[in-house]
Amino acid sequence: MAHLAKADAREQKLVLADKLANMRAIARDYANYGEDLWQRFKRGKDIQSWYYHAAVKAMSDLEFDAEAAPFYKEFEDKVNQVFGYEENAGR
């Protein structure tokens, strides 16, 4: 994730598109399957949560990019919807 935080906006937007598509699918499946969903993943819910929260942080500059902001916000919302808010995120 350190590389992503230092990447230019173009690269971050590409990664955001991919991660948002993943989170849309995860959120949909989580609504249908609940906690059983995590059995599909090689790494469980805790690791997935860490990864997606780290991606939100790494791409946080996109919140201020007029083109990317709505997609970033949707991504952040879906991560929080599925995994909850991080304890140390100041929320």
| Amino acid residing at 87 | E
Asked, for residue 18, whether it belongs to a domain, the answer is yes
Q: Determine the pLDDT at residue 87.
A: 63
Residue 57: inside a domain: yes
pTM of this prediction exceeds 0.95 = no
Domain span at residue 72 reads: 2-83
The residue-averaged pLDDT of 39-51 equals 92
- Asked if residue 42 is part of any domain, the answer here is yes
Model confidence over 14-30: pLDDT tens digits? 999 999 999 999 999 99
Q: What is the pLDDT of residues 59-68, one digit of tens each?
A: 999 999 999 9
The residue among 57, 70, 81 whose CA lies nearest residue 17 is 70
Question: When comparing pLDDT for 76 and 88, which is higher?
Answer: 76
Q: What's the total number of domains in the chain? A: 1
Coil, helix or strand at residue 41 = coil
Mean pLDDT of the chain: 93
Does residue 90 lie in a domain region?
no
